[in-house]
Structure formats: structure tokens, C-alpha cells
Amino acid sequence: MSSLPKIDYPVYRVNVPSLKKEFQFRPFLVKEEKLLLMAKESEQATDILSAIKQIINNCSIDSKFDIDKLALFDLEYIFLKLRSISVDNIVKVSYKDSEDDKTYDFEIDLNKIEVNFPEKIINNIKITDKSGIVMKYPSAKLYDDKEFLSLEKDYIFELIVRCIDSIYYEDQIYKASDYKKQDLVDFLENLNIKVFEEIQKFLLNIPKIEYVIKYENTAGTKREIVLNSLNDFFTWR
């Protein structure tokens, strides 16, 4: 008996926004769709996010692609682009207007979604003239971080801990990856309030996927809905 034929599939180049580099991907296959379906059926956000990361990794056919080196917004952007080429570039969403209490239906073209980079991103937060903290964007590793995804409080603080790249004092650099989480927690808790607020500003000002819906309701009010997370584009449950 001869072997069944192997099906060829198209190869697409997708730009990774934070790296400004293109990598090669294939579309979702049935096995990826099943993976996402099983995650959705579990009704656990952690399972869905983990499945998204695994699907992207499965679809990568570029030897230089390292998913754990991506920023979180890279992961969301790539997933939307793969969803566009694999299933359909059009996603239908509905929103209920709080003024006229009517539901409005919209079609979103995933091909038009881009990452919005703020004009000024300060990731070097100075503590003194000789010391400071260098921050990094939230990593794709967060999709596998069950401790973080199950948090019910201290969300911002825990995110900051995970986004410290390094700490410096004069010519000495201390890489966060060389230290235990509790060491970083203790360091942050001993910062003054103004420095900590600057760190929070960095996280509030990071790049995001973005799509703006504009419409006018029956009361004549012009509305604007800003979508900037995967949950805004898809109903997972």
C-alpha cells in the first residue's frame, strides 16, 4: 500500500513589529483548529492563551523564529494575521450602545490591524543620577505563566517584576534573569513612590494592537470603540 500524499500549503511572510523583521509561517491546519477548540471548551483563559502560543509556534517554519523572545503584542499581532490567512480576514463583532440601548454589528478586517507604537517610550527609569532600572516589554512567556494569569490582585506589581530587564548602579549591571523573583520584589518595594510611578507609566504606554470602530447611534451621537486586545476581536467562550 502506498503512502498517502502530503498536502502542500502556502507560505506567508509576517512582519514581527518589535523586531521589524519578517518570518515565514504556514496557515492554521485542522490540528491547530482542534487545539484552539479544546482550549475554548475548557473555558479557562490560561488554556486559551497557551493554545494561541502553541499554534503560532506550530505554524512557524522559520528556523530563526524564537517565540519566547517576542513581546506580547507581537504574539497577538501574529495570531491575528495567521487567523486572517487561515480562516477569514473578516471578523464580526457586536456592541450594545449605552445611550440608545441598541446593539450594533460591525465587520473588522484583520488585515487592517496594526500595532500602535507610542511616540515616546522611556524604558530607562532613573532612580538616582548613578542608578536606574531598564524595563522590557511584557514577554510572550506570560502566556505560559499560570501563576501570573491566575492572579486576582497585585496584577500591575507582578507584571512589573516580570518586565525588569536589568538594574544598574554606576558601571555595574545586574541582569534580572540572574536573580530570584523575591530579590526583585524586595528591590521594588524599597523604591520611592515617584520612581515606581514612572515604571507604571512605561507599562501603560507600551505598544498595542489597535483597531478603531467609528459609528453614529440613533441619538445622533458619534461613537468610537477602540479594540486593543485579542478578546476584543474574538468571543472565546
- Confirm whether 7 is domain-assigned: no
pLDDT digits (tens, 9 = 90+) for 98-137: 999 999 999 999 999 999 998 888 899 999 999 999 999 9
Q: What is the mean pLDDT of residues 84-91?
A: 92
Instruction: Tell me the pTM.
Output: 0.86
pLDDT the model gives residue 236 = 45
CB of 198 within 8 A of CB of 125? Answer: yes
Q: What is the mean pLDDT of residues 64-82?
A: 92
Residue 232: its H or E element: helix 230-233
- Confirm whether 4 is domain-assigned: no
Eight-state DSSP code of residue 54: H
User: What total number of domains does the chain contain?
Assistant: 2
Give all strands (DSSP E) within 88-235, no chain letters: 90-96, 103-109, 114-116, 124-126, 131-135, 164-169, 172-175, 208-216, 222-227
Q: For residues 53 and 81, state if they share a domain.
A: yes
pLDDT the model gives residue 235 = 58
Q: For residues 33 and 94, state if they share a domain.
A: yes
What is the domain range of residue 188?
Answer: 124-204
Q: For residues 16 and 92, state if they share a domain.
A: yes
End-to-end, the C-alpha distance of the chain in Å comes to 43
- Confirm whether 2 is domain-assigned: no
Band of the pLDDT at 237, cuts 50, 70, 90? very low
Euclidean distance between CA atoms 212 and 227, whole angstroms: 6
Cα-based torsion angle of the residue sequence 130, 131, 137, 140 in order, rounded to the nearest 10 degrees: 130
pLDDT the model gives residue 216 = 95
Q: For residues 129 and 152, state if they share a domain.
A: yes
pLDDT digits (tens, 9 = 90+) for 152-191: 788 899 999 999 999 999 999 999 999 999 999 999 999 9
Band of the pLDDT at 21, cuts 50, 70, 90? very high
Indicate the average pLDDT of the chain: 90
Residues with Cβ within 8 Å of 128's Cβ and at least 6 positions away in sequence, in order, are: none
Q: With 60 as the cut, is the pLDDT of residue 4 above it? A: yes
